[in-house]
Amino acid sequence: MWSRPVRFLFLLPAVFWVLAFTVFPLAYSLGLSFSKIDDRMEVTRERVPMLDEAGDPVLNTRGQPRLRTVIERENIREWTFQGVTNFSRIFRDDQVKSAVRVTTIFVFVAVTTQLVLGMGLALLFNRKLPARGLLRSVMILPIFATPIAVGYLFFTIFYEEGGPLSFTGIPWLSNPSWALVSVIMVDVWQWTPFAFLVFLAALQGIDEELLDAARLETESGWRIFFHVVLPLMQPVIIIVLLLRLAEAMKLFDIPYALTGGGPGVATQSYSFLAFRTGLRYFDVGYASAMAYCMLIVVMIVVTLFFNRLRRIY
């Protein structure tokens, strides 16, 4: 048996990691959200004697030390406590309202489409198909691609001058409505395989005897699906929905690489707006307040779905 001090010694790396990369950033950003941060650079100029290699002053023709100008730059950050001013500002900001609208449309359409397509593909692959194992492996490949790389890949696909889809004549990236559709399509392409994989595993875990008993009652596959299969899969569906909702609400990578939030602000999500506010416009206090509002919303959504999951079990 390990002694108590030795056990704590082994826990130290994990404790340090949590404190350094989780607790401290959360506490620091919370302090930022209640403050106004002013960054400025102070420049001072001073005339000092020029020195030679020996350290002696260099003299001019009149025997006076030659002077040179030394410029010193100092970054100064001033914190001003503002209370809840940053949070109240969020509810008056038209850009926030636009970003919330874009994020809501994206989450509703993309997540719903992923669940429906994932379920349909899972039902299809739950049957006996030729080369089913190979097709299933190919289906899940998009999951392993990074969203940034996927965004740049589809930028070339949607490019309107010579891109593979340019023959359609659709302004995929230059029209505000089609740009949002493009972002949704890319996310659906990448994350539908995740829903498909989880749903397929759940379908294969259903007792076959239960399905045989249901087939004795009715020959309708739809009735069996809605009254037997779907209720049994409800916990799995809620878990997939929860994971995809939490991830989709943080939408950033694909608009950043695919559209840059444009045209205009047509694809500027809430997370993208927070990124621009803090790291482009350097209003880090306001950006931190926006991030904490998103954190609160995600926590509420997660809590509601977990409560629903507990009632099922």
* Residue 281 placed within a domain: yes
Report the CATH number that the domain containing residue 292 is assigned in CATH.
Answer: 1.10.3720.10
- Which domain, by its residues, includes 270? 95-312
* Residue 135 placed within a domain: yes
Give the span between the Cα atoms of 59 and 61, in whole angstroms: 7
* Residue 152 placed within a domain: yes
Q: pLDDT tens, position by position, for the chain (313 residues)?
A: 556 677 777 778 877 887 788 888 888 888 888 988 877 777 888 887 887 777 777 777 777 788 888 888 877 777 888 888 889 999 999 999 999 999 999 999 999 999 999 999 999 888 887 877 888 888 888 998 888 999 999 999 998 888 898 888 899 999 999 999 999 999 999 999 999 999 999 998 888 888 778 887 777 778 888 888 888 898 899 889 988 998 899 899 999 999 998 898 999 999 999 999 988 888 889 999 999 999 899 888 888 877 877 776 6
* Residue 208 placed within a domain: yes
The structural domain count of the chain equals: 1
* Residue 29 placed within a domain: no
* Residue 64 placed within a domain: no
* Residue 260 placed within a domain: yes
* 159 CB-contact burial (10 Å; exposed 0-12 / middle 13-18 / buried 19+): middle
* Residue 62 placed within a domain: no
